[in-house]
Structures are given as C-alpha cells and as structure tokens.
Structure 1
C-alpha cells in the first residue's frame, strides 16, 4: 500500500479519534485504524507500538487541545463561565479524545508526554478559578472541583444523549451561571 500522508502520526490519531467517537475505545483496533487511514497494518504499530500506546497518544493530544481551548477562553476574558462553556465545546467537538482522556485504564498513565499535557490542562483550568476573587467562598480548590464537576458532568450527559438540547453551549452557560452568578461577562 503506497504511503500518501504528509503526517502519518497525525492522520492515525485523527482516524483513532473518529473511531472512538463512533464505536467507543473498546472497538478500536490497530488493524481497523490502518484500514481507515489507508496505510499498511504495520504503520500504527510503528508509530504507537500497541493499542495502549495509541490511546495514550490520543489522551495526550486531547489534554493538549483542552489546555489550548480553555486558555484561549481565559485570555479572551471569558471568565470561569466562559471557560466552562469552552470545556463543553471541547468535549462536543472532540468526543473521541474526551472519552479516552478520563479513562486511565485505557492508556499508560505514567507516560511523560501524557503527564505533561494533563498537567498543562489542569493548570489552565485552575487558572480560571484562581483568577476569581473569592472563588468558592475563598477556597479555590473546592470551587475548581465544583466547576469541573459541573461542566464535565454536563458534557458527559450531552454526549451520552441523556440531556437533549438544541444549544448545549447556551445551556452550559446558563447552568454555570447558577454556580458562578457573579462571573463576568
């Protein structure tokens, strides 16, 4: 099978994210991934070693994308509510990544690249909470867990089809305002 990809690793990760979003992480195989990407069966093994390696890379990429998404929102002045909406938008735009990121049994949790990406995402999320005066009645840690629980749970419910809405981002904003009513804008 001739090689036609400019960035095969990127192509394989995109195919894996699509496959996970469509069928779940359990249904993903390196052979199916190769078929989707139009490459030899050896190509995914060459880049990732095995399925755990693939899912580790997918989770690391997801944490990096999440960090970028919430950081952009914070820097644009969106506040903690805006960052929460950005979190939900990330989950809805990247369901394959989102599914894998929060299931450490699927990947190598001690991977250095993954650990760095996870730490960057945690720092980006924490920055929005600590930037709020009086966050959580003075307890930024509790406020952070509350905010994360709210948006993560909401995104999970929307992705599972348990919550149906025409505009999940608007609904996420309204729900987040219940917890953080004084957040600007």
Structure 2
C-alpha cells in the first residue's frame, strides 16, 4: 500500500500544466533566472525528478513557456483589424502575460530549434507582418523597415510599461490609449482607425 505522500508525489492530474503555471508565477515575480525544476516540483507537490519527464531540463521548460507565449500572442494579434490595434494587442499581451513576454524575446533561454516553438513564432510573425502589409510601402525594403519600426515601437512601449518606466508619463491614463496616440504620431492615421 502506498502512502498519501507517495501518491501525491507520483500521481498528478496534469503535471505539465502545473509545472508551467508554477514556472510562470516564478518568472513573473522573480524573473527567469530564479527557475529551478526542483523548486517547481516542490510547488507542484511531485518528486524532484517528475518535471524532467515533460521538459527534460530548464531549457526545455523555458522552450515550452516561449512556445505557449507565442501561441497566445498570435491569437491576440489575429483579433486586431489594423497595425495600430496590433500594437495595442502587443502592449496588452505584455501586460497580461508578463512572464511569457520576459521569456519569448530571450532566445538565449530556450531551444530556438524546437518545432513547436518555431511554428508558434512563425504564426506570431505572420500576424505582425499582416498589420504592416496593409500600409502603403513603395518598396519591399520600405515595408521591411516599416515592420521593424512598428515592432520596435510596440515592443519598446511594452517593455518600458512592464518595467515601470512609463508610470510617470502615462499616469492615470489608460496605457492602451496612450499607445494608440503614440502609434498615430509615429505612423499617422494610416496605421488604423
């Protein structure tokens, strides 16, 4: 007969999800450097070796976090009708999923050749490019540079927002409304609405 502790240690309804959720909590509060599979196993109430069955190692876990993040990100972007609103969704995604956001843009943390990650990242990239493709661009090079400018604007705004560096500038105003105005100043009304 097994003890309650043994049952709790080795039988878990959805260990993969439990470890991912615990990892997102740690990343959100302490950053990705604080992740430890042993600590996550303790938080999930399983043996210290159990998370390795799903993720192999820390890089595997962070790859899963990044792949999930890019999937959620692509879903959020797909709902936007134009470039400006894609930027708003970018900022909203960062605010709603800060742990994913911290990992997604740090390829030094995960396996960049993972097929699930690549598929999710390609889908997110296509959604970002779709917003730029609606703008008039005289040359393919101009379209590429416009895409870089739009990405830089949204990513920079989101990063500054998450780090608290826009608190004084944004004040009590809704950050998404501020971003819409910034995007309009940078890209004109042709970026949306």
TM-score w.r.t. length of structure 1: 0.90
Q: Determine which of 7, 24, 35 is the counterpart of 2:42.
A: 35
Aligned length: 180
- What are the residue-to-residue correspondences of 1:1-185 with 2, within 5 Å? 1=5, 2=8, 3-5=11-13, 7-73=14-80, 77=81, 79-134=82-137, 139-164=142-167, 165=170, 166=172, 167-182=174-189, 183-185=191-193
Distance in 2, Cα, partners of 1:172 & 1:28 = 32
Give the CA RMSD over aligned residues: 1.9
List alignment gaps of at least 5 residues for structure 1: none
Residue 17 (structure 1) shift? 1.3
- Offset at residue 115 of structure 1 (A): 1.2
The CA deviation string for residues 74-112 of structure 1, in whole angstroms up to 9 with x for no partner, is: xxx2x1111100000001111111111111111111111
Structure 2: runs of 5 or more not aligned: none
Structure 1 runs of 4+ with >6 Å offset: 135-138
Evaluate the alpha carbon distance shift between residue 106 and residue 115 of structure 1 in structure 2; reply closer, same or farther with a 3 A threshold.
same
Change (3 A) 1:180 1:136: farther
Cα distance in 2 between the residues matched to 1:32 and 1:172: 38
Segment drifting more, 151-160 vs 171-180: 171-180
Q: Secondary structure at the match of 1:133?
A: coil
Partner of 1:139: helix, strand, or coil?
helix
Distance in 1 separating the partners of 2:134 and 2:126: 12
Following superposition, the deviation at residue 4 of structure 1 comes to 4.4
Cα deviation, residue 135, structure 1: 8.0
Higher-Rg structure is 2
